[in-house]
A and B are shown apart, each in its own frame.
Chain A
Amino acid sequence: MRFIQIKNCYKVYKNGVTAIADLTLNVDKGEFVFVIGASGCGKSTLIKMLYREEKPTKGEVLIGGISVGKLRNRTVYKLRRKLGIVFQDFKLLPKLTVYENVAFALECIGMKSKDIRPKVLKALEHVGLKDKTRSFPSELSGGEQQRVCIARAIVNEPKLLICDEPTGNLDPKTSKEIMTVLDTINKDLGTTIVMATHDSEIVNRMKKRVIVLDNGVLVEDHMKGSFKISESV
């Protein structure tokens, strides 16, 4: 069975906007997939459906065998514990240190304190922030904050990492560093990564599978490295 299966999926918002139309998509374990497209093409909706912030109006979204649309609000946590999410705006807690922010994800699911420590340190090592554990988010640069967010997303060793424009707020050099971190996670931990972006340079350089959405319709699905986009997208 494929890891992510999206079958004839539609998403129509309450205001009548069709964000996703008849989308069918399969992603295997360990893949690195870019989702690109112009603003309003349905990228974010697709990403949000993967972690069930949105439910599909029609069709099915299966992640590791769990039907996302059928999850009740009170059982969503079962899905979320299996995946990590990286946000464009980091979503860090300002009053907690780097260490505490990452540990927070494990405390929330009721893990023992003595089990938490090695996991957090390992995750911070992966993103190269081991020497900043005591800093507060406000003392970090944008790139470092994003790395904390990535560390928090991978600390629970998820099978799937969902990234919603993780480099959207960062300069090209920092973006490059973040992409290196994500690539390492994909290769070393075997984590499947789905990443929405509109940064054409990153997509061109990384040479990964690319899915192009236009007005909610899947228009192109290029396998590894076969895709080059112009600056205009």
Chain B
Amino acid sequence: MKVFRIIGRSIRDSFKSVFRNFSLSMASVICTTITLVLVAIAIVLTVNVNHITKTMEEELTIVVYAKKGTKEDQVNELEKKIKEIKGIKEVVYKSKEEWKLEMKEYSDTLEVTLDYLDNNPLLDSFIVKVNDVEDLSPIAKQIKKFDGVESANYGEGMVEDIIGVFNVIKTATLVVVVALVLVTAFLISNTIKLTIFSRRNEIEIMRLVGSSNISIKLPFIIEGFLLGIVGSLIPIILTVYGYIIAYEKLGGKVSFGVIEFVKPMPFILYTALILVAIGSIVGMIGSSRAVRKYLKI
């Protein structure tokens, strides 16, 4: 079959070209390697920041205290009313007795003090979780207006600050990833342009003796693919091993377990796949674009 002969020759020619223009090929590969390492770092950062944001957001709650002396049926009614609010994920009732036990465990001084008092000075409460952190503030305000509510707190100010910072980090890393991918595409395209430039006579003759455009392009597209794959090897090894080692060293956690990293498996394998995909696709597109200029003869 003619098609298979052309494909076979293209593969042979692309390997030949990689080795004949070895220094240029190395330049392409090194460029790809450097940019893909940066892309890998950006991906790892983005995913981890997203993960941390999510886990922290899940920890954010509204603590609602019922007024002193509220009867049990009033408390139940309050719980019902809170549950009816849109965007509520979970409402957990925590009685004053539970609070008392918890506080007693927390410190000896508190235990002594609380035992000294005849009646429990603490308040019944609800721990309210919401679906979307953005709703924390409006929901807390709404709950405050209900009858029998002493207070509804969610760490005003601090929560807004944390969410703001996380949003900035999210968009910043996303912008960096996109920018790096574009830069990689440009660099690969440019270096392949150089290898093609040194072979423009060959392309010209191919055109003049009647090669179809696709059979001229194919060896270069395969070459771009190969360079992209080779260029993504080192970044993949670095990210896979680097991340696994870093994760083990830190035990997956930093500072009291508040910040928790994404588990290496299968996350790091997906990252590796993304890197190969970026390297090879960008290599193919880059070389295909670079040849096009020489197909006008």
A residues with a Cβ closer than 8 A to B are 51, 53, 73-74, 76-81, 85, 91, 93, 95, 104-105, 107-112, 152, 156
A80 touches B210 (CB 8 A): yes
A76 touches B201 (CB 8 A): no
Contact of B215 among A80, A95, A110, A152 (CB under 8 A): A110
Q: Which of chain B's residues has its CB closest to A82's CB?
A: B210
| Size category, B interface | 20 to 34
Residue among A73, A77, A105, A111 with most chain B CB within 10 A: A77
Residue among A78, A110, A111 with most chain B CB within 10 A: A110
Contacts of A104 in B (CB 8 A): 205, 209
A221–B104 alpha-carbon span in the complex (Å):
117
Contact of A81 among B202, B210, B215, B295 (CB under 8 A): B210
B201 touches A80 (CB 8 A): no
Contacts of B2 in A (CB 8 A): 110
B5 touches A77 (CB 8 A): no
B9 touches A107 (CB 8 A): yes
A108 touches B213 (CB 8 A): no
Contacts of A77 in B (CB 8 A): 207, 210-213
Contact of B207 among A78, A80, A111, A152 (CB under 8 A): A80
A91 touches B213 (CB 8 A): no
Contacts of A156 in B (CB 8 A): 209-210
Task: Check B297 for interface membership: any CB of A closer than 8 A.
Answer: yes
B residues with a Cβ closer than 8 A to A are 2-3, 5-6, 9, 20, 201-202, 204-213, 215, 295-297
Q: Which of chain B's residues has its CB closest to A158's CB?
A: B210
Q: Which of chain A's residues has its CB closest to B206's CB?
A: A108
Contacts of B215 in A (CB 8 A): 108, 110
Instruction: With A76-B207, A110-B2, A112-B5 given, name 7 new contacts (CB 8 A).
Output: A77-B212, A91-B201, A91-B204, A93-B201, A105-B210, A110-B6, A156-B209
B211 touches A108 (CB 8 A): yes
Contacts of A95 in B (CB 8 A): 20
Contact of B208 among A51, A73, A107 (CB under 8 A): A51
A93 touches B210 (CB 8 A): no
A228–B73 alpha-carbon span in the complex (Å):
124
Q: Which of chain B's residues has its CB closest to A109's CB?
A: B210
The 5 closest A-B pairs by CB, nearest first: A81-B210, A80-B210, A108-B211, A105-B209, A110-B2
19 A–B pairs (Cβ distance < 8 Å), ordered by A: A51-B208, A77-B211, A77-B212, A78-B210, A79-B210, A80-B209, A81-B209, A85-B208, A91-B201, A91-B205, A91-B208, A93-B201, A93-B202, A104-B205, A105-B210, A108-B209, A109-B211, A110-B6, A152-B209
A91–B205 alpha-carbon span in the complex (Å):
7
The minimal Cβ–Cβ distance linking A99 to chain B, given in whole angstroms, is: 15
